[in-house]
């Protein structure tokens, strides 16, 4: 699925896209999601984002969500009961919800996965904490497990924000310039070409002549060549993937 079909997929459905988040730290979400494109998307009704405190689905005086791991070891583990109760309650409110767990051991989040998620009407993101979750959550409650990279964060709030941000900018109407996500890094398997703006010369460093030429065909050709060059030099893994995926297609 490319950006165009992901966006067309969403246009078939009634807006807004609904994203629910289950977290132990709801306060962490205010700020990053209240600025810029995310703020506009929420205000204009493109994105309906709801942050829920997992402790609201506990029933004891201490609002307990975690317990020590069977078999011993450091840290605490999120208990299954509040998570199952919360997810089942939130899913009952929507017809079609994709439930996603954030975990370092999940599949690696990418632009391709963001496109896939942008076509789904409702997402429910679960932010882990402590040592993680009781494994039965992964086995029996969720549809997918996503990691945002090969490193360990304190909790799943930042991964959830990364996913929300990446998906939201793919929703129709979220960006001022509708063509922006079609041409960005990863949208065609390549990194993006370099950008320049005024002045044409800064501290002796000149903008490439072709960009000042007004020759649109030459500019497009230069940009494609630069995108290929960058990808080969900086991300040979992406270049290999592209070559294997499209052996007969000429890229530049």
Ligand X SMILES: C[S@@+](CC[C@H](N)C(=O)[O-])C[C@H]1O[C@@H](n2cnc3c(N)ncnc32)[C@H](O)[C@@H]1O
Beta bridge partners of 3: none
Report residue 118 as tokens. Answer: 């942008």
For ligand X, the nearest residue by Cβ is 128
Given the complex with ligand X, which of 127 and 174 has the nearer CB atom?
127
DSSP readout, 58-109? --STT---EEPPTT--SS-EE-HHHHHHHHHHHHHTSSSEEEEEEEEEEEEP
User: How many CA atoms lie less than 13 Å away from 15 in the CB half-sphere?
Assistant: 18
- Residue 166 interacting with ligand X (CB under 6 A): no
Instruction: Using CB atoms within 10 Å of the CB of residue 233, give its burial: 0 to 12 exposed, 13 to 18 middle, 19+ buried.
Output: exposed
Report residue 98 as tokens. Answer: 């994709």
Given the complex with ligand X, which of 104 and 173 has the nearer CB atom?
104
- The distance of closest approach from Cβ of residue 95 to ligand X in the complex, given in angstroms and rounded to an integer, is 26
Contact at 8 Å (CB) between 2 and 103? no
| DSSP assigned state of 133 | B
- Residue 153 interacting with ligand X (CB under 6 A): yes
**Alpha-carbon Rg for the chain in angstroms:** 22
- The distance of closest approach from Cβ of residue 216 to ligand X in the complex, given in angstroms and rounded to an integer, is 41
- The distance of closest approach from Cβ of residue 166 to ligand X in the complex, given in angstroms and rounded to an integer, is 13
Residue from 105, 201, 203, 216 binding ligand X (CB under 6 A): 105
The number of beta carbons lying within 10 Å of the beta carbon of residue 42 is 16
User: How many CA atoms lie less than 13 Å away from 133 in the CB half-sphere?
Assistant: 29
Beta-strand relationship, 122-126 and 97-108: parallel
The number of beta carbons lying within 10 Å of the beta carbon of residue 18 is 18
- Residue 104 interacting with ligand X (CB under 6 A): yes
Residue from 103, 123, 142, 167 binding ligand X (CB under 6 A): 103
Q: Which stretch binds ligand X (CB under 6 A): 2-10, 88-96, 142-150, 230-238?
A: 142-150
Q: Which stretch binds ligand X (CB under 6 A): 26-34, 43-51, 96-104, 235-243?
A: 96-104
- Residue 82 interacting with ligand X (CB under 6 A): no
Residue from 31, 59, 92, 152 binding ligand X (CB under 6 A): 152
Given the complex with ligand X, which of 16 and 128 has the nearer CB atom?
128
- Residue 155 interacting with ligand X (CB under 6 A): yes
Given the complex with ligand X, which of 73 and 247 has the nearer CB atom?
73
Residue from 16, 26, 82, 132 binding ligand X (CB under 6 A): 132
Q: Which stretch binds ligand X (CB under 6 A): 11-19, 23-31, 141-149, 173-181?
A: 141-149
Which residues in this chain contact ligand X in the complex, by CB under 6 A? Answer: 102-105, 127-129, 131-132, 147-149, 151-156, 159
């Amino acid at each position: 699925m490319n950006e165009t079909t992901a966006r067309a997929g969403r246009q078939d459905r009634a807006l807004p896209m609904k994203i629910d988040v289950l977290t132990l730290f709801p306060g962490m979400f205010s700020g990053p999601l209240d600025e810029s494109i995310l703020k506009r998307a929420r205000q204009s009704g493109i994105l309906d984002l709801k942050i829920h405190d997992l402790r609201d689905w506990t029933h004891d005086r201490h609002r307990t969500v975690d317990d020590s791991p069977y078999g011993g070891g450091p840290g605490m583990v999120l208990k299954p009961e509040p998570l199952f109760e919360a997810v089942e309650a939130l899913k009952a409110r929507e017809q079609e919800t994709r439930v996603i767990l954030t975990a370092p051991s999940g599949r690696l989040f990418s632009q391709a996965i963001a496109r896939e998620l942008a076509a789904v009407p409702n997402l429910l993101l679960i932010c882990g904490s402590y040592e993680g979750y009781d494994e039965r959550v992964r086995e029996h409650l969720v549809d997918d497990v996503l990691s945002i990279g090969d490193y360990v964060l304190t909790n799943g709030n930042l991964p959830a924000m990364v996913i929300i941000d990446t998906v939201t900018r793919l929703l129709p109407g979220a960006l001022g310039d509708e063509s922006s996500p079609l041409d960005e890094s990863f949208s065609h398997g390549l990194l993006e070409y370099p950008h320049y703006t005024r002045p044409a010369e800064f501290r002796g460093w000149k903008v490439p002549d072709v960009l000042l030429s007004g020759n649109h065909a030459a500019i497009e050709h230069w940009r494609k060549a630069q995108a290929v060059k960058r990808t080969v030099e900086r991300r040979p893994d992406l270049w290999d993937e592209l070559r294997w995926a499209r052996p007969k297609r000429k890229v530049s």
